[in-house]
Amino acid sequence: MTMQAASTEIASRTAAIIDEMKGLEGPLLPILHSIQEEFGYVPKDALPVIADGLNLSRAEVHGVVSFYHDFRAKPAGRHVLKLCQAEACQSMGSDVVAAKVKQLLGIGFHETTRDGSVTLEPVYCLGLCACSPSAMLDGEVIGRLDDEKIGEIVAEVRS
Ligand code: FES
């Protein structure tokens, strides 16, 4: 697909989502979530379509997308690993865990390994504070991260 065709495709799929959801109260966030579900990220080409559809400025839409950590600007890798960085996990060493994972994978937060195997993201509380430090791998929560579990997770996303 040419770039032009891809951006037309994104615009038309985005317009269909907006049509379906713009009647909701406070439609911007649900629309952005649906777009991320549809494409796996929020494409840049979708932003002007959303702004026009909801009568907002492009800056407003861009501001919301960049404010929320949930929205990705690029497609994710085959696995998505989220490391909790909220308070309870912080107090149990989540920054040390994050540093180790980053070193093992060779990427930082909001990055994807070059082979496309994994995207690393911070998350702010997974509701698993009693078992901190916690993570989520492809939607499954993992508690009490230690060196062994980190090694297993990294091996799994690399396989
Ligand atoms: S603070 Fe990490 S799970 Fe709640």
Apex CA 43: angle with CA 62 and CA 99, to 5°? Answer: 80
Q: pTM for the complete prediction?
A: 0.79
pLDDT tens for 114-139 read 999 999 999 999 999 999 999 999 99
Share of the chain above pLDDT 70, in %: 99
Q: Determine the pLDDT at residue 159.
A: 81
Please work out whether the CB of residue 112 comes within 6 Å of at least one atom of ligand 1: no
Q: What pLDDT sits at residue 99?
A: 97
What rounded mean pLDDT belongs to the chain? Answer: 94
Q: How far is the CA of 55 from the centre of ligand 1 (A)?
A: 37
Span 25-41, pLDDT tens digits: 999 999 999 999 999 89
Query: What is the pLDDT at residue 11?
Result: 93
The Cα–Cα gap between 72 and 42 comes to: 6
Question: Is there a contact between 85 and 122 (Cβ–Cβ < 8 Å)?
Answer: yes
**Ligand 1 atom with the shortest distance to the CA of 125:** 4
CA distance 114 to 99: 19
Phi, psi torsion values for 114, nearest 5 degrees: -60, -30
- Is the CB of residue 152 less than 8 Å from the CB of residue 144? no
Percent of the chain with pLDDT strictly greater than 90: 87
Any idea what the Cα angle at residue 88 is, between residues 103 and 73, rounded to 5°?
50
Does any ligand 1 atom lie closer than 6 A to the CB of residue 97?
no
Give the mean pLDDT of 79-96.
Answer: 96
Mean pLDDT of 63-92: 93
Res. 158: pLDDT tops 90? no
Distance 133 CA to ligand 1 centre (A): 7
Q: Which amino acid is at 31?
A: I
d(C-alpha 64, C-alpha 46), whole Å: 13
Read off the pLDDT of each residue in 63-87 and give the average, rounded to a whole number: 92
- Angle of CA points 145, 151, 157, to nearest 5°: 105
Given a cut of 90, whether residue 18 has pLDDT beyond it is: yes
